[in-house]
Structures are given as structure tokens and as C-alpha cells.
Structure 1
Amino acid sequence: MIYRSFIISSFIAVNALILFGISQTLSFLNTGADRSMMLHIGVKNKQAYMPTVEWKDTINPARPIEKQTMFNIQKDYVNSWYVRNVGYTTYDSLGIFDFYTESARKHLVDGIHFNKTNDLKIVSTTLDHHLALDFYSADGQLVVFEDQNVRAYTQTFKKDSLQFETITTASYKIAMLLEDGFWRVRHIVKQPNSHITDTVKQKKTSYVKGNQIFVNNQPYQIKGINYYPQETPWDMFGEEFDISTIRKDFEIIKNAGLNTIRIFVPYDDFGKEFVQEVKLTKLQEVMDEAESNQLKVVLTLFDFYGNYAVDDWTFTHRHAEQIVSSIKEHPALLVWDIKNEPNLDFENRTKETVLAWLKEMIYQIRALDDEHPITIGWSSIESADILSDEVDIVSFHYYKDLAEFSESFKSLSSLDKPLVLQEFGLSSNKGLWSPFGNNEKDQAAYHEAFLKIIQENKLHYLSWTLYDFNNIPSAVVGRLPWRKNAQKHFGFIDAEGNKKDAFQFISY
């Protein structure tokens, strides 16, 4: 009986396994392959690359091209550049099989193999594409088009050491085939560049000539302050946004004899590459209130951003594009400030990577708005001359000993650019966490002395900051209580709303 039971049980188990295997095989054969699963880098699930793309010509006499077809061609073509760049960076050619035909991908795979063998790594991204349709077949299976004046940034590494970086402009003729419902690159041939005619605007609302700033053709001296509302520091456009509070603060600033404010656009909070309309509306309201109080605005575009990686560039370009396009016509706008204290990221992100991102961002913003000057808010006077040839205004922050300022400032005196002391101040934080710190009288004496230096050197200035704050986010200065406490007391007005001794020296 035991023997018979074993035989019967084994028979049932074997047949059950066979039936299960057959059912799984049939299920697999009856299910279409999910391309997003095949393409491991996930460009199907999440747009991982967002260069500027425009169709300059879509006329095709043989057969009109449908809008959906144009969208599909554009999407798969842009993704073909992305997987190619990823392949050269990671030596992984899997994504290339999704976006290139068999004959086209052979050259790419060979190139990736060559780079891997020779320990070369190419980090690259394209920044804009201008497409012009040449031919679309009657059967809808073949498309030929040009991609004119493609701007690309490339870093070349040898054994993880950066050898050189380049920005190139090239044009291409592309043939794509429709295979398995997806457009794949069949040929891509480099062409002579097309000429781009830039439209030169004569009228500028604010501009730089030599070492002077002009607004409406009149010399303009920046006398200003960095601004956050007292109750929402570093979260000005958040859930507690209150335009009536901002209106009252701008009146205080105007009545104190100042003419400029500096405000900040937090990259993540605004939605990164997909800027939220509600945030743009709040920013417009702030700009309107500044204009109502005859205040000009220095607008910092990238606060709390620290990636700079080449594969992140197109996302930051879309962020800047939406902010700049929305604000560039506003009469209160004075200067675009690209990034707050980017030199603090040199160690973690490498100086070369940060500077490359800054230079390209300057180019992008000038392409969107050539009427307003551009600056970068360096954290120290020693870094102020970095990219001085690229920017219109040289801006720097100073929180060191006041007695050392004049000597340090001499290094900038030869620059024929407007010089802006973009942040400076002293915390009146003497107390439990800083028994040897400065009190309010020390703070007042500091600002009185600094204003004399500012006047002597005809410096543009923006002090830090209007208010003392009750709460400082840990993301700003960390969690250490003595650092937080110091940051709370830089204001000219204390936490109870009383003007401190330094307020009389907020302006000269």
C-alpha cells in the first residue's frame, strides 16, 4: 500500500507540474512584450531627457504627416539620443537595441566596445533640436528629416580623469523606419551647419555698460536687501504664502530708502522641470508688489539645487525656460541670478562639472532673454572673479572680518564690471549658544562701518536680511542649535517686530 501510494502521488505531482508549465508557456506567448520592461533605463516610464525640440518644417507633398505620428517620431528620436549617450557613459548597449535598426546599432555597439577596451568614457547631452521634414513615405513606414544646429555638450574621460570638454553645434540628416510599432533610427549622417539668424533687440529695460548698471537708460545704484517673510523663511511660496504680509514688508523696505530686493526660486518646490502654475502665479504677485513699491528685483533662479550632472541639464533648462519666459517682461525685473553660492558644491560635485553647468545655463537664459543682465551669487570674495567674462555683473557674499574686506576687495578692482556685494551681515546672537558673540550694538556698529566702505567703493549692495527668524529649516544650516541660533539673528527687525539698532544703517 505504501508503494502504491507513492507511485500515485508521484504521478499526480509530475502531471501537475507539466500542466503548470504548459499554462505558463501559453500565458507568456499570449502576452505582448512590454517595451518599458525591455528597456531597462526606463525612458518609457519616465521622461529621462528633455531637450528643446521644435519642428521647423512639416510639409510633405506625397502624404501629410499626422500630428500623432510626428509626436511618436519626435519621442523615439529624442530617446535614441538619450540611450546613445547612456551607452557611451555606462558601456551598456541594451537600450540601443530599442531605438536603432540592426545595421545602425552595429557602429554604436562597436564604439562602446572600443571605449570600454581603452578605458574611455564619454558623458554627453544634446540641448536643442530643430527638425525639418524631408520625406514621409506613402505607406507610413519611412521618414526622412533634418535636425539642424544641434547643440551638444561633451566631457571625455580617460581612466575617470577628465581630459577635455566641448560644446559643439552640428546638423544631421536622419532616416527612421517604423518597426514593431516603434520608430527606429536607420541612418544618421552629419551635415554642414545651417545658419541661424539671431534677432537683435535694441531696446533694453536694464543693461550694463562698463562698470555701471542702467535702468531705462539711467544709471542705477543697487541699494537693497535679501528678502524672506518673517514667518516663512526659505519657504516664501509655500502653503502659508501671504501677499498682504509681503506688501507690508515691501513698504517697510521702500520707506527705509532701499530700491532693490533679492528673492529666491527653490528648484524642487517650484516643480523642477514641470514648474507649477500656482507657483508662477505667486511669483507674479510678488513681482507686482515690488513694482508697486518702486523696488527692482534680483531673481535667483536655482536655490536648493545641487546636482549639475550632464544627464540632468535638460531638466534644469526646462525649469529656467518656464521661469524666465513667465517673468522676463515684468518691469520690476532687474537681474537674473543663476545660482546661489555654487562654489560650495565644488568639492562634492567637482569644480569642472559645476562651471560647465553654469556656463551652459548662462547661454540658455541669454537665448530666452537678452534684455536683462546675468550674475552668479558666489559665496566669497575669493571666488567672485570666476566666470567674470561670462556674466554681466560680478556678485559675491562677505561674512568674514570687516577689517579684512578692503584688502580682499582689491583683487576685484581691475574688473570692468559692476560689483555687487550681494550678501553681508552680522548676527546679534550673543546668548546661551554664543556667550562670546555679538549683541545688537555690535551689529549696528558693523553696518555703520560697512556702509562707509560701500560708499567709498561705490559698491552695489544687498544686505542680509530684513527680519530675525523664529525657525530656521535644518536644510539651510544643519541641525546644530548654535548654528541655527546664529542664523536667526541677522535681521534689522527682531522677532517681535521691533526695529533693532542696526535699522538706522540699513541704507545710506
Structure 2
Amino acid sequence: MKFLKTTVWALLICLSFQNCAKKEEAAKEEVIVPREIWTKEQAKEWYGKQGWLVGADFLPSTAINQLEMFQKADFDTATIDKELGWAEEIGMNTMRVYLHDLLFEEDSAGFVQRLDVFLDIAEKHKIKPLFVLFDSCWDPFPKLGKQRAPKPGVHNSGWVQSPGLEVLKDSTKYPRLERYVKGTIKAFRKDDRVLGWDVWNEPDNPNTSSYGKVELPNKVDYVLPLLEKAFVWARSVDPSQPLTAGIWDGDWTSHETLKSIEKLMIEQSDIVSFHNYQDAADFEKRIKQLQRYDRPMICTEYMSRGNGSFFKGSLPIAKKYNVGAINWGLVDGKSQTIYPWDSWKKTYTSEPELWFHDIFRKDGTPYKKDEVELIKNLTAAK
């Protein structure tokens, strides 16, 4: 009996020391050392573990923009689960997903928790998301809360920029943006469910055909230094995933012909990413131009049927060069990207015969069966 009591006391003391040690460890603030831009070798090693990346820029059909996708009142896990299931069925293994700084400002803990739920759903479908932190496209005046209804027949009629114009031109608000970048990445910086971080989508896009009249006339003068800061903030929390920002316009013939902001995007990225909405020949030409950087490549936007960019043209070329391929749009929904860009100027009263973007109707029926079969064959989906 004496031996038993001694043993019990020993166990209790041991457990007490363990608990104290755990509490002491938890009390210590994690020390994170900022990392450098990956070497070419590090980037290639990472890319070699991913397999060929194929996916879509994803927004559930029930959301009009990034805010509606992730706000607590609108977070539609059932639709996300269903639609990512359709992506899985055709062999897609990644999705490019837009976030927003206002979501973090409103409720950082809740936002991170919803991202965690989203990642669980994506992992269930063997999909690793590439998260987009900032975006310069469409409406420069984002607001939290109930989002407006889609404007009938208009492409991306409710999409919003991040950060909005008022924050972009006010440097006193930049500490809030820094907290958003660091806080979001830090929460998932070692998470294998995350493919990577796309720091800023089309940062110098002037939105001429949609919101050009209300945009900052010298927008790029604000964006360029903030983009550079955003890369520094992102690397400061030592993410295990790559950082990138995709060039999308201009003359890529040589590094010297790039605009200043494009040079920054290439030089600060661990992996090279780009957009291409042109035909197959142009798609291949762009890949060859970017091969000079000798880094893994992902095309993070392509496929606009009305512009001559089709799966049958671009996707086989992407596979030939082992370039990741992420097309715009998965399911026709509130974003209405089946309508072309010119819908901001031209009236459409019915569904266009030739969809501009997207693969599936809301019921899961493919818009074009031959496209879905092509994607399945190239990804070797069962």
C-alpha cells in the first residue's frame, strides 16, 4: 500500500511539473524570424512536391464577392462543400481564393476560424487553396455588411477592391493592413492545407471600363510602395508556403521592358505567377518569356472564351511546360462572370450563348461536357 501511495504521488508530481511546463511554454511568445525570398532551388523543391496544379478562381455561387463569401452571416459551407466536390470530380487540386482586409479588421478571430473551416472543407476534397490578400480590381469602395444584389447581366457587378480607395490613399491606415497580412498568414504559416499566398491581384489595374472615373488617377504611386511593404510583412512571419504576385499586362520581352511594378512583383515572388486571357499561341509565348527566371510558374487567371482563351488551347500547353493552371470561375453564380467584360458598356438581357468564364451551372451540370472531359483527361481524374 505504501508503494502504491508513493507511486501515485510521484505520478501526480510528474503531471504537475508537465502541466506547469506546458503553461510556461504557452506563455512564451513564439519567436518568428523573418525569412528571405526563396532561392530558385527552394522554389523548385517545393513545386516538385505539389504535382501538376490545376484549379479555378473560386467564389461560391451564393456570394457576390470576397466579403459575402467569408462574413459570418453569409458563410455558406454547404455550397462551398458541394461546389468544391464538383472541382474534385474533374481532377482539380487547387483553388485561388480572395480574402479581404475588412474581414480581419471586423473580427480577426472569427475570420481566421472561418478560414480554418474552409480549409477543412477544401482538404476533404484534396484541394489546396492559394489565398489572395489584396486586389485592385472593380469597386474601390468596399463596405462590410449586407452586399448589394447583382446588377442583371453585368460581369462581377459586386466585386470589391482590397484595400479600398480611402484606405489606399491614407498611409495612417497602413498599420491596420500590416496587422491583417501578418495575422492572417501567421495563423496558417505552417499549415500544409494552404498552397501559398498571392500578395496582390493586378495591383496597377485602373478599372478603366468600370470604375475608371472614380479611381485614383495616380493609383500606382500608392500601390507600388504598399505592395513592397506587403511582401515584407508577409515574409516577416516566416511562411512555409510561397509568396507571389502575378504580372498581367505589358511587355514581358525582357526584364528591362517590364514596368517598375512588374519588376517588383517578379523580384519579390518565390514562384512566378501570371495572367493570360489570350489565345493558345500567346499563352505559350508568355510562358517562354517567363522561363528566363528559372522558377516554378502558375498561371493564376486564364480562360475567357469570348476573348479566344479556351481550355482546349491553354491547358495542354500548361501541362506540356509543367505550369500550374488556374482558370477564372468554377460555378455560374452571383458574380455573373458568364457575361463578358464589355457587359459594363453593353446590355445583355439573357444568358450569352458563349459563356465568358465558369465551368458548371448551379445544379452541377457542365456548361460544355467536352471541356470537362478534357480537364478530366489531362488531370487523370477517375
Q: TM-score range by the shorter chain?
A: 0.5 to 0.7
Q: Distance in 1 between matches of 2:192 and 2:290?
A: 30
Task: State which of 209, 212, 227 in structure 1 corresponds to 2:44.
Answer: 212
1:332–1:407: structure 2 CA closer, same or farther, 3 Å change rule?
same
Query: Contact 2:301 / 2:327 at 8 angstroms: preserved in 1?
Result: yes
Q: Structure 1: which amino acid aligns with 2:367?
A: K
* Paired residue type of 1:327: F
Q: Note the alpha carbon deviations across 1:452-490, whole angstroms, 9 max, x for none.
A: 21122221111112112255499x998545489779741
Q: How many residue pairs get matched?
A: 291
Q: Distance in 2 between matches of 1:336 and 1:468?
A: 25
AA at the equivalent of 1:497: G
Distance, in Å, in 2 between the alignment partners of 1:336 and 1:458 is: 20
Q: How far apart in 1 are the matches of 2:362 and 2:230?
A: 38
Deviations 1:93-125 (A, max 9, x none): xxxxxxxxxxxxxxxxxxxxxxxxxxxxxxxxx
1:500 corresponds to = 367
Of 256, 263, 266, 2:90 maps to: 256
Residue in structure 1 matched with residue 297 of structure 2 by the alignment: 419
User: 1:237 — aligned with what?
Assistant: 70
The structure whose residues are more often helix, as a share, is: 2
Q: SS in structure 1 opposite 2:133?
A: strand
TM value normalised by structure 2:
0.66
- The answer on 1:377 being equivalent to 2:238 is no
**Deviation sequence 1:121-147 (CA, Å, 0-9, x none):** xxxxxxxxxxxxxxxxxxxxxxxxxxx
Superposition TM-score, scaled by structure 1 size: 0.50
**d(CA) in 2 for partners of 1:494, 1:313:** 40
Q: Is the 8 A contact 2:33 2:238 kept in 1?
A: no
Equivalent-residue separation in structure 1 for 2:221 and 2:272 (angstroms)? 20
Rate the CA distance shift 1:450–1:290 in 2: closer, same or farther, 3 A: same
Match of 1:459 in 2: 323
Aligned-partner Cα distance in 1 for 2:223–2:205: 10
Deviation, structure 1 residue 364? 0.8
Shift of 1:299: 0.6
- 1:348-427 paired onto structure 2 within 5 Å: 348-380=217-249, 382=251, 385-427=263-305
Structure 1's consecutive aligned runs of 4 or more residues displaced over 6 angstroms after TM superposition are 483-488
Any idea what SS the aligned residue of 2:117 has? helix
Residue pairs, 1:42-441, within 5 angstroms? 199=33, 209=41, 212=44, 214=46, 218=49, 220-234=51-65, 235-238=68-71, 239-268=73-102, 270-271=103-104, 273-303=105-135, 304-305=161-162, 306-307=164-165, 308-309=168-169, 310-345=171-206, 348-380=217-249, 382=251, 385-427=263-305
* Separation (CA, whole Å) in 2 of partners of 1:410 and 1:219: 22
| Rounded Cα–Cα distance in structure 1 between residues aligned with 2:94 and 2:363 | 24
Q: 1:207 touches 1:213 (CA, 8 Å); kept in 2?
A: no
Q: How has the CA–CA distance of structure 1 residues 332 and 482 changed in structure 2, closer, same or farther, with 3 Å as cutoff? A: farther
Contact 1:425 1:463 in 2 (8 A): yes
| Higher normalized contact order (CA 8 Å, seq sep 6+, divided by chain length) | 2
Summarize the Cα distance change of 1:279–1:488 in structure 2 as closer, same or farther, 3 Å threshold.
farther
Unmatched runs of 5 consecutive residues or more in structure 2: 1-30, 136-160, 208-215, 252-257
For 2:85 and 2:40, locate their aligned partners in 1 and report how far apart those are by CA, in whole Å.
Answer: 28
Matched-pair contact (CA < 8 Å) for 1:290–1:297 = yes
Structure 2 partner of 1:491: 358
**C-alpha separation in 1, matches of 2:50 and 2:364:** 34
Higher gyration radius (CA): 1
Residue 388 of structure 1 aligns to a residue whose secondary structure is helix
Alignment-mate amino acid for residue 278 of structure 1: G
Superposed CA RMSD in Å reads 3.5
Report the residue type matching 1:325 in the other structure: K
Cα distance in 2, alignment partners of residues 290 and 377 from structure 1: 23
Deviates further, 294-303 or 320-329: 320-329
Structure 2 counterpart SS, 1:377: coil
How many percent of aligned residue pairs carry the same amino acid?
21
Cα gap change, 1:353/1:393 in structure 2, threshold over 3 Å: closer, same or farther?
A: same
Contact 1:423-1:463 at 8 Å conserved across structures = yes
Separation in structure 1 between the aligned mates of residue 358 and residue 219 of structure 2, nearest angstrom: 34
8 Å contact 1:227–1:465 — kept in the other structure?
A: yes
Question: Does structure 2 conserve the Cα–Cα contact (< 8 Å) formed by 1:222 and 1:461?
Answer: yes
Higher strand proportion: 1
Following the alignment from structure 1 to structure 2, what is the Cα–Cα distance between the partners of residues 236 and 222?
Answer: 23
Give how far 1:254 is off: 1.8
Deviation at 1:329, TM superposition (A): 3.5
